[in-house]
Amino acid sequence: MGAAASGMTGKQDPQVRISDRFWDSYRELVRKTVIPYQWEALNDRIPDAEPSYAIRNFRITAGMEQGEYGGMVFQDSDVAKWLEAVGYSLAQHPDSELERTADEVIELIAAAQKEDGYLNTYFSIKEPGNRWTNLHEAHELYCAGHMMEAAVAYYEATGKRRLLDVVCKFADYIDQVFGTEPGKLRGYDGHQEIELALVKLYKATGEERYLALAQFFIDERGAEPNFLVEECKQRDGFSHWANKKIAIPTVAQMAYNQADKPVREQDTATGHSVRAVYMYTAMADLARLTGDASLLEACRRLWANTTKKQMYITGGIGSTHHGEAFTFDYDLPNDTVYAETCASIGLIFFAQRMLQLEAKSDYADVMERALYNNVIGSMSQDGKHYFYVNPLEVWPKASKLNPARHHVKAVRQKWFGCSCCPPNVARLLSSLNEYIYTASAERNTIYTNLFIGSEASFELAAGRVGLKQESHLPWEGYVRMEVTESPKAELALAFRIPSWSYGEAEMIIGGQAAKYEVVDGYAIVTRAWSEGDVAEWKPRLEAQLIAANPAIRANAGKAAIERGPLVYCLEEADNGDLLSSLTIQADTKLHSSYDPGLMGGAVVIEAEGCVDNMASWQPDLPYRPLAQQQVQEASSVTLRAVPYYLWGNRKTGEMTVWIRTSGL
Amino acid sequence: MGAAASGMTGKQDPQVRISDRFWDSYRELVRKTVIPYQWEALNDRIPDAEPSYAIRNFRITAGMEQGEYGGMVFQDSDVAKWLEAVGYSLAQHPDSELERTADEVIELIAAAQKEDGYLNTYFSIKEPGNRWTNLHEAHELYCAGHMMEAAVAYYEATGKRRLLDVVCKFADYIDQVFGTEPGKLRGYDGHQEIELALVKLYKATGEERYLALAQFFIDERGAEPNFLVEECKQRDGFSHWANKKIAIPTVAQMAYNQADKPVREQDTATGHSVRAVYMYTAMADLARLTGDASLLEACRRLWANTTKKQMYITGGIGSTHHGEAFTFDYDLPNDTVYAETCASIGLIFFAQRMLQLEAKSDYADVMERALYNNVIGSMSQDGKHYFYVNPLEVWPKASKLNPARHHVKAVRQKWFGCSCCPPNVARLLSSLNEYIYTASAERNTIYTNLFIGSEASFELAAGRVGLKQESHLPWEGYVRMEVTESPKAELALAFRIPSWSYGEAEMIIGGQAAKYEVVDGYAIVTRAWSEGDVAEWKPRLEAQLIAANPAIRANAGKAAIERGPLVYCLEEADNGDLLSSLTIQADTKLHSSYDPGLMGGAVVIEAEGCVDNMASWQPDLPYRPLAQQQVQEASSVTLRAVPYYLWGNRKTGEMTVWIRTSGL
């Protein structure tokens, strides 16, 4: 790793292997089902699903097949994300057959690479003369970035350099094309991704030029004259998406691509949400590696705006499907929501990088929220169906019949024409081990950010430390941490005090209640930890009714149920339809019980509520005096809430996270 | 008038002149401001407004000017609607200068007519060879229909036949082109309008062929094979709107044009809402004039579906801007609403025709609701600014920054590129006299549907009857009806018992409480009325909190305020922003008081409510336990509601019709 300016560092990253009651099944699902299923999808072998064309495009480019390019302009990235997931999976679970398949794909990719290093099937097949003429729309560098991430993951898992060499050659070529030197393009991609990928490539290879190139892309973004606007003029306004000439966009319109102003001047999460969080991730990487204070400040501002004012309670971001974008502060409609799966994954990346910069539990709180709710909720329990949009309120009939809600699907889909989300879930879940801990080697401190059963080893200044975590999350607030190796020097174990514990958390060391220091949301115990020492960490985990800031108009008069990291929801399967007719008592007791029959077992919550009396309403009476209602009191009813991540796995029906409250 | 099969009939229509405290100012606004202003708009003389091109198109077609066609394909209809409004206005207020202007426009129109009778500036200028090749999209018959309506109105006002002759020649030509006979087109327009217009033309001229042609268009609609689908195949899929070839639409997609099945088989309001209600209007006309029972049944079904399950409390219809369309039963979102002005006007036409078919107060209740709320609310108090979309909830920032709400304007616009609504308001308000009464000559019964001060005369079987109505609506439930002429025979005066009186209405005749018979929502007094007799009609008019059917999910837990025919709303100007933080006490007293300073004077309503305590919330805290809220009780507050039709006439701000209730 290069010279670190600040933040979490180590001689090398912690080595972590997950073994966890809750997550093992997810990771096994990814390994046994999602990765093989997505391989079938990439090869267009899923019946009744939209074809991917992705492998076929590489075969055509490599001259192994004749045909037309198929799919989106960024279809290559699906193969890359799949390979990246395979890399992470192989690192944890060697699988010679999967590795052989991956090696074959890598040979195919290598065969599709041009002599000069260029690698992109869309431009190779469809527009060979038009490289780098539409960075605004055509995702060339975006696809390059994903291939770099795949190469690094595969190299780190297997030690094989084949794909790494391919992407290094490509990166070297890109470095010759882009830059501030005369004759080079002072440009950047319309869809950020390569910036964070180049940081990974730098880390894997030690090649400083890749870090500098990432920095270049970040620094040029939004500079005047605006590259993307000028580029569009060069094309005479031709738009890939519209397939015709369009009006030259304004600089202000480049806010969609976070390129309307320099990144250091941005303070509000704006535009396409995935682009935004991928960029913030790279900004945090660079702030850490270069010690750039203005970049760190921008990261903090953008983090605060994103997570405090533009984030759903599920960790979803992006309030509109128009441009898959942020809208503005506190505009978080539950029914016309976007909350794209990829955006929450990008938010997790951003959180991880901020944690590497500074140990503040807030970053991990958000990471956990997005992971346990929006992200895993996007995948069906069978691992073969996905949500792209993750709503907080679903009325299936409206999804079907009201065009403003067509993008909100009530049922997970097999695959998508634009299928960025499913492989993104796969690569996140198969690399989840990278999100549990951060460590400061210099300060001999290990931070536990996520409570996920695992064995980990760390190289600290004092020496090697081994930890074995056992966790009862998300169902119980219990974590057992055993020190399995210790240099017998003083070192600090820092446990995140999760936001959902509201500061109530007990530490037990060696069976005795132990005091801890609280720093930035972590409970820190500094001592000479010895092999065999056990710390038990018991953050209070109780179901709570949650209110939203009144500025979030969509949730006025409503409450949500949270229990630990999980957000809950009401489903029609448990509560009947017309969920809007239900209210929850503001002072209800929330009864939690484990239901082993609910999709592999989950804690369900029962609450006291009321249902509006509907018997007195005729279907053909739309409006009547409220006074007629008061004589017909609402009836008591027991509401049954299930974890949000499980919604839509039974029959198709209504769902809501936010519930009207009564009796406040 | 032709031989009537059923319904309301008279030797001739009632002659009605309005003189009313509330409506005189509106009608004067139309006459003195709206009609002259729209004339300027049609001539592209409004600074900073979108140009109309409408007059210019006629000049180009008539060879008086060189240039390109401008505006929408149906731009001609704006001129027609303006002329129709002028006709109505001249009928009530002769104005030689306005009449001279209109005569000049009529000469211009006549000059633009082709030798064979064809009249359409778009096809004449842009696609002279393509007449009748794109009925689906190009509004040719729609524009023809509006010109017929204008001609009839102008003829009836002035006795001048010039435009009537033009449109008869056009109608005769259309009759040669369309029909079931071999060689004729068995087609109909994508946008219904000509059907109701031909009925008017038939009535004005007595020419049975025009009635038969209207019937033909209605009967052919939705028949198999589907004309509009086949026509699109003929064009090889070329779409006017997309300006390229598109996939041939399916029959099911023709539901947008209410042409997916025969009209008699339709039972749900579907597709583009203006097209729908214009068609229903013609269906009701034809049911009345031909005695077609199946058509009548379809009208009743479609009326019930439209008004009982798909109508906003303001009388707005159309739940989505996608296709300006209905969605499905009970889907009435307040924030992403459409509720186009023209659709409510069309609903009023439909109600009027149903009243001519059968005297049921429900039709008039809806007519009044749409008129006093959605329709007059669409126009600014200065008569120069208009809403196309009439929302029930506005958050100006969201209208600006959330694309799903861009169509919901927080401020009325000067003019629109598609400016169908402003001239539609003008023609409705200037012909309002036609909506007050219906009469059955045979049964010697006069129905008062709207309470609008007026002098009217009727030709009944028993002889001529004169009535002078004085009304304190909408502020007080008081109507004074004086018989000014009477044949000294027994006749029945029927007063609508408005839905908002909930059946409580007092009749006083000659100063004495009088009994009345209740039939289908009318209070009927049958006696030998004499000149000078006075009936006072006092429907109870009190402010009420109104609840919505629980099936209307958008209004769950909320109430609206109604007072007589008026729906009320909360505006930021009176209640501050963040209207979602306000609740209204379910058992509040509603204090009505006349505020002479509120835009010419209006009754405002004060109510007891609460405002969520926001002091304890930091702007950067999006979510927290509800339990923290309970210790911070909401504060009492006095809510001030103003009539919905006045909203948006002060400063730009939030508005809501539906208010969260508390204490139920």
CA distance to partner chain A, nearest, from residue B302 (Å): 12
Q: Strand B534-539 to strand A602-611: parallel, antiparallel, or no bridges (unpaired)?
A: unpaired
* Chosen from B300, B620, B623 to mutate, greatest number of chain A CBs within 10 A: B623
**pLDDT value for A11:** 45
CA distance to partner chain B, nearest, from residue A257 (Å): 16
Question: Mean pLDDT throughout A263-270?
Answer: 97
Nearest CB partner across the interface for B578, out of A550, A580, A662: A550
Residues 6+ apart with CB under 8 A from A607: A561, A584, A585, A588, A589, A590, A591, A638, A639, A641
Which residue of B lies nearest to A577 if distances are taken between CA atoms? B551
- CB contact (8 A) between residue A544 and residue B333: no
Nearest CB partner across the interface for B625, out of A402, A545, A557: A545
ipTM of the complex: 0.92
**Number of Cβ atoms within 10 Å of the Cβ of B581:** 21
Pick the last residue of a domain from A427, A444, A462. Answer: A427
Confirm if A271 and A258 have CB atoms less than 8 A apart: yes
- CB contact (8 A) between residue A557 and residue B560: no
Radius of gyration of chain B (CA): 25
The band of A416, judged by pLDDT with boundaries at 50, 70 and 90, is low
**pLDDT value for A420:** 65
* Chain B contact set for A304 (CB, 8 A): 620
| B171 or A416, which is more confident | B171
Residue A469 lies in a domain: yes
**Number of Cβ atoms within 10 Å of the Cβ of B9:** 20
Question: Mean pLDDT throughout B333-355?
Answer: 97
**pLDDT value for B418:** 58
In the set B420, B421, B569, B610, the catalytic residue is B420
Residues B110 and B32 in one domain: no
The band of B405, judged by pLDDT with boundaries at 50, 70 and 90, is very high
Question: Mean pLDDT throughout A98-107?
Answer: 97
Retrieve residue B98's tokens: 């306005």
Confirm if B290 and B215 have CB atoms less than 8 A apart: yes
- CB contact (8 A) between residue A545 and residue B627: yes
**pLDDT value for B5:** 40
Pick the last residue of a domain from A492, A519, A539. Answer: A539
Q: What angle do the packed helices B293-309 and B341-357 form, to 10 degrees?
A: 140
Question: Mean pLDDT throughout B528-549?
Answer: 97
- CB contact (8 A) between residue B550 and residue A626: no
Which residue of A lies nearest to B617 if distances are taken between CA atoms? A549
- The residues of A that are catalytic are 324, 420
Question: Mean pLDDT throughout A359-385?
Answer: 95
- CB contact (8 A) between residue B581 and residue A556: yes
Residues B553 and B482 in one domain: no
CA distance to partner chain B, nearest, from residue A398 (Å): 7
Which residue of B lies nearest to A588 if distances are taken between CA atoms? B627
- CB contact (8 A) between residue B401 and residue A626: no
The band of A9, judged by pLDDT with boundaries at 50, 70 and 90, is very low
Q: Strand B659-662 to strand B582-585: parallel, antiparallel, or no bridges (unpaired)?
A: parallel
Residue B1 lies in a domain: no
* Chain B contact set for A556 (CB, 8 A): 580-581, 612, 660
* Chain A contact set for B553 (CB, 8 A): 395, 578, 580
- CB contact (8 A) between residue A319 and residue B402: yes
Nearest CB partner across the interface for A626, out of B556, B559, B623: B559
Residues A324, A315: Cα–Cα separation, whole Å = 15
- Mean pLDDT score of chain A: 94
Residues A205 and A120 in one domain: yes
Which residue of A lies nearest to B552 if distances are taken between CA atoms? A622
Nearest CB partner across the interface for B664, out of A304, A395, A630: A630
The band of B415, judged by pLDDT with boundaries at 50, 70 and 90, is low
**pLDDT value for B601:** 94
* Chain B contact set for A308 (CB, 8 A): 619-622
pLDDT at A3 > cutoff 50: no
Nearest 5°: the CA angle B145, B150, B153 is 125
Residue B335 lies in a domain: yes
* Chain B contact set for A245 (CB, 8 A): none
Residues B397, B603: Cα–Cα separation, whole Å = 29
Question: Mean pLDDT throughout B556-570?
Answer: 97
Residues A447 and A413 in one domain: no
Residue B572 lies in a domain: yes
pLDDT at A351 > cutoff 90: yes
Residues A594 and A658 in one domain: yes
Phi, psi of B276 (to 5 degrees): -60, -55
The band of B10, judged by pLDDT with boundaries at 50, 70 and 90, is very low
Nearest to A20 by CA among A413, A469, A661, A603: A469
End-to-end CA distance of chain B: 55
For the stretch A210-257, pLDDT in tens is 999 999 999 999 999 999 999 999 999 999 998 889 999 999 999 999
Residues 6+ apart with CB under 8 A from A576: none
Residues A56 and A202 in one domain: yes
The band of B6, judged by pLDDT with boundaries at 50, 70 and 90, is very low
Residues A219, A263: Cα–Cα separation, whole Å = 7
Residue A218 lies in a domain: yes
Which residue of B lies nearest to A555 if distances are taken between CA atoms? B580
Which residue of A lies nearest to B548 if distances are taken between CA atoms? A623
- Mean pLDDT score of chain B: 94
Residues B105 and B244 in one domain: yes
* Chain B contact set for A370 (CB, 8 A): none
Nearest to A165 by CA among A174, A155, A156: A155
Residues 6+ apart with CB under 8 A from A231: A133, A134, A135, A136, A187
Pick the last residue of a domain from B523, B539, B555. Answer: B539
Residues 6+ apart with CB under 8 A from B226: B251, B254, B259, B260
**pLDDT value for A62:** 96
* Chain A contact set for B612 (CB, 8 A): 550, 556
Q: Per the omega criterion (within 30 degrees of 0), is the bond before B51 cis?
A: no
CA distance to partner chain A, nearest, from residue B22 (Å): 26
Confirm if B650 and B571 have CB atoms less than 8 A apart: yes
* Chosen from B270, B338, B553 to mutate, greatest number of chain A CBs within 10 A: B553
Residues B352 and B501 in one domain: no
CA distance to partner chain B, nearest, from residue A625 (Å): 4
CATH code, domain with B490: 2.60.420.10
Residues A528 and A553 in one domain: no
**pLDDT value for A2:** 34
**pLDDT value for B47:** 83
The band of B496, judged by pLDDT with boundaries at 50, 70 and 90, is very high
pLDDT at B2 > cutoff 60: no
Residues 6+ apart with CB under 8 A from B32: none
- CB contact (8 A) between residue B612 and residue A548: no
C-alpha dihedral sign at A508, A511, A513, A516? negative
* Percentage of residues in chain A having pLDDT higher than 90: 88
- Please give the tally of structural domains in chain B: 4
CA distance to partner chain A, nearest, from residue B386 (Å): 24
**pLDDT value for A271:** 97
**pLDDT value for A632:** 55
**pLDDT value for A48:** 80
**pLDDT value for A193:** 98
**pLDDT value for B281:** 98
Question: Mean pLDDT throughout B395-407?
Answer: 94
* Chain A contact set for B311 (CB, 8 A): 622
- The DSSP call for residue B375 is I
**pLDDT value for B420:** 65
Residue A380 lies in a domain: yes
Residue B283 lies in a domain: no
For the stretch B603-653, pLDDT in tens is 999 999 999 888 889 889 999 999 886 545 678 999 999 999 999 999 999
The number of helices, as runs of H, and strands, as runs of E, in chain A is: 21, 25
pLDDT at A579 > cutoff 90: yes
Residues B64 and B187 in one domain: yes
Instruction: Give the residue numbers spanning the domain of A657.
Output: 543-662
For the stretch A129-147, pLDDT in tens is 999 999 999 999 999 999 9
The band of B13, judged by pLDDT with boundaries at 50, 70 and 90, is confident
* Chain B contact set for A336 (CB, 8 A): 336, 404
Confirm if B143 and B190 have CB atoms less than 8 A apart: no
For the stretch A159-200, pLDDT in tens is 999 999 999 999 999 999 999 999 999 999 999 999 999 999
For the stretch B220-230, pLDDT in tens is 999 999 999 99
* Chain B contact set for A320 (CB, 8 A): 402-404
- CB contact (8 A) between residue A333 and residue B402: yes
**pLDDT value for A6:** 42
- CB contact (8 A) between residue A612 and residue B556: yes
CA distance to partner chain A, nearest, from residue B362 (Å): 12
Which residue of A lies nearest to B407 if distances are taken between CA atoms? A404
CA distance to partner chain B, nearest, from residue A300 (Å): 13
Nearest CB partner across the interface for B557, out of A311, A404, A660: A660
For the stretch B422-469, pLDDT in tens is 788 989 999 999 999 999 999 999 999 999 999 999 999 999 999 999
Ramachandran area for residue A337 (φ above 0: left; ψ -120 to 50: alpha; else beta): beta
Which residue of A lies nearest to B401 if distances are taken between CA atoms? A327
**pLDDT value for A14:** 83
For the stretch B110-122, pLDDT in tens is 999 999 999 999 9
Residue A10 lies in a domain: no
- Interface A-B, measured as beta-carbon pairs within 8 A, has a size of 189
Residues B375 and B414 in one domain: yes
Residues B311 and B430 in one domain: yes
Question: Mean pLDDT throughout A542-565?
Answer: 97
Confirm if A162 and A103 have CB atoms less than 8 A apart: yes
Nearest CB partner across the interface for A622, out of B549, B614, B622: B549
